[in-house]
Amino acid sequence: NLANAQTSGGPDTYGYTWYDSNDPNGPVYNWIDIIPLPDAQEVKLLSDDNTRGPFAMNGSFHFYWYDVTTFYVGSNGYVAFDNAQLSSPFKIIPDTSLPQNFIAAMESDLNFDGAGNTAACWYWRNANNDTLIISWIGVPFWDPNPPSWVGSNTFQIILSNVDSSITMQYMEQSGVTNVGPGDWMSIGIENNSGAIGLQHSHNVYPPINYAIKYYYPSNSTFQVNDASTAFNDNETTGGLFISKSNTDTFHLNTGIKNVGNTILNPFNVQSDVKSFAGVTIVSNGLTTDTLQPGQTQNVQFTQGFIPVIAGTFRYRTTTNLSGDATPSNNSKTQELVVVDTTTANQWLSFDNGVNSVAAGISWQGGNGGVGMHFIPPYYPCRINSVRCYIVTDPTAVGYSTLIYDDDGLNGAPLTLLDSQFVAAPATGTWVTNILPTPLVVNSGGVYVAWYMGGAGIAMGLNTVAPISNRTYEILGQAWAIYRNREIEDVMININISKTTFPGIDENDASRYVSDVYPNPATDFVSVDYKLNETVKNVSYAIYDLQGKKVAEKIINQTLTDNGIINIDVHNLSNGLYIGKLKLNDHEFSRRINVVR
C-alpha cells in the first residue's frame, strides 16, 4: 500500500500538524542532493539495526517544548535525540515504551550490510546553522537470503530552525520488507516521554517524488507537568559490580528531570535499595528544588548503601509529582551486584543463572551475536575465563567469544584483546572457556561478545529483575544497544581474580605503596611509597566506578626512593573512585572515597 490518500494530519496533543505534497497547503517536493555540498559528512559504520552519533547540530532545534542539540542517526531510517535503537517491531506512534524522542522518516528493517550493498547516509548543515539535512541513499531492506538485502530506498529529513519544521522527502522506493505481518514500518514523530506524537502512516510504503512537512504549532496552549527519574548513578543506569565491604559506602546519586513545559514546584522523591529477596536495606526521601522546564537536578540521598553482604541488589528511585502526566518515566532501577573479593576468584554475572526464555536469543541467518559490558569491582584484575549459557545448537555450528577493550569513542568497544572459537558446545547448560593467556585490566572495563558460528545456535536470556542495562546486540559486525536491554540480560559471565603480573607490584615487599589517607577524603589524599630506586617518572589517574577517567596528573620532578605523594581530589563529586599511581614502570591501584 502507498500513502497517497490522506494529505494532512493532526494536530497531536501538543499541536503539531502535517501536510504532504499532494495537499494544496503542503510542501513542494524538492530533493536536495547534499553529497556535493561543502561540509557534507558521511555517517560511517551504519549496519543492520544500529545507530551512529552523537553528532552536533551546531545550535539547537526546537522539538515539542524543548531544545535538542545533538542527534543520532539510525540505520533503520530515523533520527533520535537519545542514544536509542529502533528495531522490529516498528510500533504505532506514539508509544510510551522505549525508545522515544525521535523522528522516523522510514522506520523499517533497512540494512547497510551485505555483499554488493552500496547504501550510504550523509548529513549536512548550512553555513547559517539553521538547516540540517540527513539523507539515506539507496538503502535496501534486510533480507534473510544472501546477500541479505533487497530493494533500494532514498529519502531525507530536513530540520529547519527558521520555523522549527520537519520535512521528509522520498526520491526512491523499491522492494518490500521481510518483516511482517505485524508492525513493519512507521513514519512520524514522538516526544521524549512517548506520550505525545503524530503518526503519518503505519505499515504503508511512502510514494516516490513525495514530501511530508510537520509544522510546529504557532501558539500551543498545551501544558504538561512531567517529572522523571533521568538516571541512577550513571547516564544509562548501567549495573555495577561492587566489592563487599563493611566500611565503604556506595553513594546513591540520581538525576531528577523536568521533562514537561511548566515550572515544577518542589516535590518528593523516594529511593531504596532492596535485596534480591525484596528486603529493604536502605530507604531515603528528599524534596527537590523548583525545576524549570528541561532542568535536571543531580542529587545524592543522605543514606548510602554499605555492601556488607554479597549478592544482587536493586537500587530504585521514584518521583512523586502530583498530577504527573507520564507515570511510565517516574522510576529508574539499577542493578548492584556485591562481589566477595576476598575469595581467590569471582564470577561477574548480572543474571541469576536461570534461562528465562525457552528459545533463548539468536539471529536469523546466524550472522550476529550479543555482548555485555563488564566493569570490574577492583583494579588491577585478571580475566581468567568466559562462560556462556547455550540453549541449543542443533547443527553444531558453535560460537566465538571475543573480548574488546572499552577504549573506543565514548567508551565503545574497540581493541580486540582475545578471541576463541567453541566447537559443538554442550546445550542447556553453561559452557566455560579458559583464556589461554589471562587478560589484565588496569582501568575501565571490557566488552565480551558472543558471536554465532551459524544459524540455529541460541544463547540464554534472563528476565528476572533487576536488569543490568549493559547488553548489546551485534548484527554483522556492528554493535548497538540491545533492543530489549531494559527487560532482558544475556547470559554471559566472566571470571576474574586479583593479579601480581609483571609491572603490577602490589605484593612486592621491596616496592610498597600504602593505602590512601585520609579516607574518606575531601580535598587531598596521600600515599606513602618505598621503591628502592630513584623515582623519575610519576603520574596518577583517577577513575570512577564506570571506568571513566575523571582526573590525571604527571609530576615532573625527581623524587627520592621513598616518601609521600599527594593526590588532589577536591574537584571530584562524592563517591568511590579507583586511583592508579605509576612510579617509574611500577603501577599501584587504591580505592578512594570522597565525602563532603
pLDDT of the residue at 573: 84
Tell the residue number behind the cell numbers 514546584, with chain if given: 265
Q: Tens digit of pLDDT per residue, the chain (596 long)?
A: 555 578 999 999 999 999 999 999 999 999 999 999 999 999 988 988 889 888 988 788 999 999 999 999 999 999 999 888 899 999 999 998 878 999 999 999 999 998 999 999 999 999 888 999 999 999 999 998 889 999 999 999 999 999 999 999 999 999 999 887 889 999 999 998 888 999 999 999 999 999 999 999 998 888 889 999 999 999 899 999 999 998 889 999 999 999 999 999 999 999 999 999 999 999 999 999 999 998 999 999 999 999 999 999 999 999 999 999 888 899 999 999 999 999 989 999 999 999 999 999 999 888 899 999 999 999 888 999 999 999 999 999 999 999 999 988 778 898 899 999 999 999 999 999 999 889 988 888 999 999 999 999 999 999 999 999 999 999 877 888 898 998 999 999 999 998 753 333 444 555 677 778 887 788 888 888 877 787 888 888 888 766 678 888 888 666 677 778 888 888 888 877 888 888 887 878 777 888 87
pTM for the whole structure? 0.78
pLDDT of the residue at 411: 85
In 10 A of CB 415, how many CB atoms?
Answer: 11
Q: Work out the angle at residue 103's Cα, subtended by the Cα atoms of residues 102 and 104, and round it to the nearest 5 degrees.
A: 115
Nearest alpha carbon to residue 341 among 195, 462, 498, 482: 498
**DSSP per-residue string spanning 60-109:** EEEETTEEEEEEEEETTTEEESSS----SS-PPSS-SSSP-SEEEEEES-
Residue pair 298/317 in contact by the 8 Å Cβ criterion = no
pLDDT of the residue at 545: 63
pLDDT of the residue at 503: 33
Give the span between the Cα atoms of 55 and 49, in whole angstroms.
Answer: 18
pLDDT of the residue at 578: 80
Alpha helices in 436-543 (DSSP H): none
pLDDT of the residue at 83: 80
